[in-house]
Amino acid sequence: MNVDDSRSEADRRAADNATRRNQAEAERMERTRLRRDKEALDRDRKAAAEARRFALAERRAAATERVQQARIRKMEREPRKSTMKFKGPENRTL
């Protein structure tokens, strides 16, 4: 294989410099992409954790509401029991 590079020394240096600049730019772009990918992953993880916390809080609130509604229904069904301390109007002393 016969390779004849008819470029001048200045042209070869310029091409080598351009290649090095392109490689440096490609590496910088890759670092930027990796950093952005990591930031996006971190945002997604935080959003997922927040969504789980919100869903858990919603379930807890719904469970509390169901318990309170059950207590209200129970209170409406059962008459209140009188206590020994209660004195009706007929037992009052004047």
30 close to 38: Cβ distance less than 8 angstroms? no
pTM, full prediction: 0.52
Quick: pLDDT tens for 60-85.
999 999 999 999 888 888 776 666 66
15 Cβ neighbours under 8 A, 6+ residues apart: 7
Question: What is the distance between the alpha carbons of residues 18 and 4, in angstroms, rounded to a whole number?
Answer: 21
pLDDT in tens, the chain (94 residues): 667 777 888 988 999 999 999 999 999 999 999 999 999 999 999 999 999 999 999 999 999 999 999 998 888 887 766 666 656 666 555 5
Question: What is the distance between the alpha carbons of residues 89 and 94, in angstroms, rounded to a whole number?
Answer: 11
pLDDT of residue 8: 86
Q: What DSSP element (H or E) covers 86?
A: none
